[in-house]
Amino acid sequence: MENLLKKLLNYSWISMVVILVVSVLFFLEMKENTRMETNLDKYMPQNHPAFVYSDKAEEWFGIQDGIIIAIENKNGIFNTETLDTLKQLTRRFQKMPEIEKDDVTSLYTADNIIGTEEGMDVKRFFKRVPRSEGKLNELKHNVENNEMVFGRLVSADETVAVIIAEIGDDVFTQEFYDKILDVAKASETGDIKIYVAGRPIVEGTMALLGPADMKKMVPIVILVIFAVLFITLRSFKGTLITLGVVFLSTIWAFGLMATVNIPIYAVSTMIPVMLIAIGVADGIHLYSHLHLYINKHPDTTKKEAIVDMLQQMWKPVVMTSVTTAVGFISLLTSQVYPVKYFGVFTAFGVMMAMVFSLVFLPAGIMIFGIPKPQKISKHKDIGGHSHSKLANNFATIVLKHKYVSIIATAVIIVLSVIGMQKIWINSSFLEKFEKDSEIVLTDKFINGHFGGTSTLNLILDANGKKDVFKEPDVLRLVDKMQKDVDNQLQVVGNTFSLADYVNRMNKVMNADDEAYNTIPGSKDMIAQYLLLYEMSGDPENLNKVVDYDYEKLNVTFQLKSDNSKAIKSALDIIKTYTDDFEKYGISLNYAGSGYKGLVFTDLILEGQIMSLILSLILIVVLLSMMFKNIKIGLIGSVPIIITALISFGIMGFLGIPLNTTTALLSSIAIGIGIDYAVHFIDQYRSNAAKSSNKLVAAQLTMAHSGRAISFNAIVVIAGFMVLLFSVFPPNRELGALVSLNMFTSFLGTLTIMLVLLNMSNIYFKKK
């Protein structure tokens, strides 16, 4: 490896040209084939049993996520202007090629089940918009007396009506999203305001804001990194060359993604920030060594200085890059696609940054010259070793008060473990946005007037027994469960199933007597009602709640929140009915985007635990192999273990949930934080071979690696702090937590790890 790097140094221009040409090819590929994944279902493993069943249920009952268009008139909706707007919007959405005509529901298309002298009739509430006061009052009366519509399609205060347009997973595009917003906006008047919400809109907004967020943050992080690098390196040329390394590694990472046809997920937009912040580390350590060498050998030639830099630093650069990549590769254990691919391509970018640091950076120095060395204040200890006075004093204080570090570390660990008990997982995609953002406020408005914009589907399966869901006792049990969930939980706004149809039919067939708004006691009566409905109305409507043989039933729960706590609270009540349904041979299963989101959270937690354990094991093994000592592997892992505990403890205390973004935390903390330990241990081993005095070895190490680690930590922290400018709160939380992690890793390396190295007598036993 060392000889190869020296040979490449003789062909600096050729090396740079080859790297730049390949980078241009990757850039063109990235520009041509990069695409943003907007379908949140694609974030999940499609072969997972829960998702496989959910997909089947979605086919059985036509379960699709809906776009919700709310029409508000504070003077009331029962007037000609508002009802005409409702009708025209409904028809416009029905004509859109992306939407099936029958999948658009509103007061204009809804069925009104009524009793007649002949029996039962099913007809629309209105075809022509009523214009007389009498007709408007009649429509108002009909709506108010139909519990299947009132509170569901028309708000209880009668100021808002909704149109629900269900769409397939594969039809939503940015153009379609823009068209919906344009149609809605064009329908607004002085009295009428239009709101658009629903899961597809959340997806569309994320797809719009994700790339825009990346475009905004990347220039900021470049400026910040440039400023901090220039201050630490004090060299314009050195700063540009180091930034060149991270630019190239970022282009190669995204170019490879485009080449293998992997889409960009919301979390992928943070890869450039990661690589820019991480990639400068190698350059800082290389330049730091170069400056120290030139200070000691002012008459050295350019090539001699670069050769010495490569000889002394290639091993720690390779070791730190490998351990960092391992931290990210461990994310492969996650079944969540965005997390998995984030790990793979960030690891690839880190390894390419290593290659460019050892090839592109030395070539750049050869071509553009060595930057002026920094003047470092020096101090001579009793052994005559010359090094930084600040480093000398810091190392002395740490070792003199070693038990302070040990006790402080123990206290921090205990507090962190307590905080970890409070961590929760959040599947909400809506909570990725600002609380005062338009999409969140719109969702809140619709939730305030209706049952909720999120859904959970319960699939009751009689396992092959036909007509089970015509049994009165079974439907009464379904009805009772719906009412229990609805009454006990504020987060559940509405429930809907076949029981609602049967209740309504029984009521209208008994002169609209509220006492008959129940499940009739006869199976034959229920069958007769259903037959009358199929003859009078649209039998396709029943397909959304029950299958043809009445052996599978779909119960829909509307939720006012899409986070895990809301969904779990509903499931907790539903599951109390498991034994009651089993008496009839009915099993409970779940489907829909709400349930998928809940399973998603479990996969996040499972992947987080697995990646954390795997990365720690791999790090210990790698460090033990690199330094040929199991004790070094264990000691070197101490700072990152403490860092991981601190970050999770703080998340618990501050109520920051685990989600697709913060789930990356431990791998980032381990992957980056281990760099400090590797550089420090490698230098400590080298200095221990030169001196029999443990304090002197610590002082020399602090002066060399401690100084570079300090610069590295400052740059990385500054880079990740840029995430505080993100429009997504989880990104900001991640930026703050990772910055804290870098500080604790840095501090832990220079304190508790140094104490452990000192107390263990490693590298001094033979002396």
pLDDT tens digit string along 413-436?
Answer: 999 999 988 888 776 777 778 888
Q: Give the type of residue at 290.
A: L
Length of the chain: 767
> pLDDT at position 73, please?
93
Tell me what pLDDT residue 372 has. Answer: 61
H/E stretch holding 378: strand 378-380
- 719-733: buried (b, 16+ CB within 10 Å) or exposed (e) per residue? bbbbbeebbbbbbbb
Provide the pLDDT for residue 39: 66
Q: What are phi and psi for residue 587, nearest 5 degrees?
A: -105, 155
**Contact predicate 294/568, CB 8 Å:** no
At the topology level of CATH, where does 378-421+629-767 sit? Multidrug efflux transporter AcrB transmembrane fold (1.20.1640)
CA–CA separation, 310 vs 200, rounded Å?
53
Phi-psi map region of 230: left, alpha, beta (phi>0 left; psi -120 to 50 alpha): alpha
H-helix or E-strand containing 114?
strand 111-115
Give the CATH number of domain 49-203.
3.30.70
d(CA 85, CA 487): 34
Q: How far apart are CA 417 and CA 421, in angstroms?
A: 7
* pLDDT tens digit sequence for 280-295: 878 887 888 888 888 8
Fold of 1-33+207-375: Multidrug efflux transporter AcrB transmembrane fold (1.20.1640)
**Residues 505/532, Cβ–Cβ less than 8 Å:** yes
Which part of the chain is CATH 1.20.1640.10? 1-33+207-375, 378-421+629-767
Neighbours of 235 (CB within 10 A): 20
Cα Rg, the chain, nearest whole Å: 33
Instruction: Confirm if 127 and 84 have CB atoms less than 8 A apart.
Output: no
Start-to-end CA distance of the chain, whole Å, equals 32
All residue ranges of the chain with pLDDT < 50 are: 376-387, 767
**3-state secondary structure at position 459:** strand
Query: pLDDT value at position 382?
Result: 38
Rounded to whole angstroms, the Cα distance separating 157 from 161 reads 10
Q: What pLDDT is recorded for position 38?
A: 63
CATH number of this structure's domain 451-595: 3.30.70
Q: What is the 3-state secondary structure (H, E, C) of 40-101?
A: HHHHCCCCCHHHHHHHHHHHHHCCCCEEEEEEEECCCCCCHHHHHHHHHHHHHHHHCCCCCH
Residue ranges of the chain that CATH labels 3.30.70: 49-203, 451-595
Does an H or E element contain 164, and which?
strand 160-166
- Predicted local distance difference test score (pLDDT) of residue 555: 94
* Nearest partner of 731 among 656, 643, 645, 650, judged by Cα: 656
Per the rule left: phi > 0, alpha: psi between -120 and 50, beta: everything else, 161 is beta
Q: Rounded CA gap, 700 and 680, in Å?
A: 10
Distances (CA, A) of 332 to 336, 384, 488, 584, 587: 9, 50, 40, 43, 34
Pull the structure tokens for residue 93: 């959405």
Distances, alpha carbon 250 to alpha carbons 405, 443, 570, in Å: 38, 36, 44
Quick one: which of 500, 414, 407 has its CA closest to 451?
500
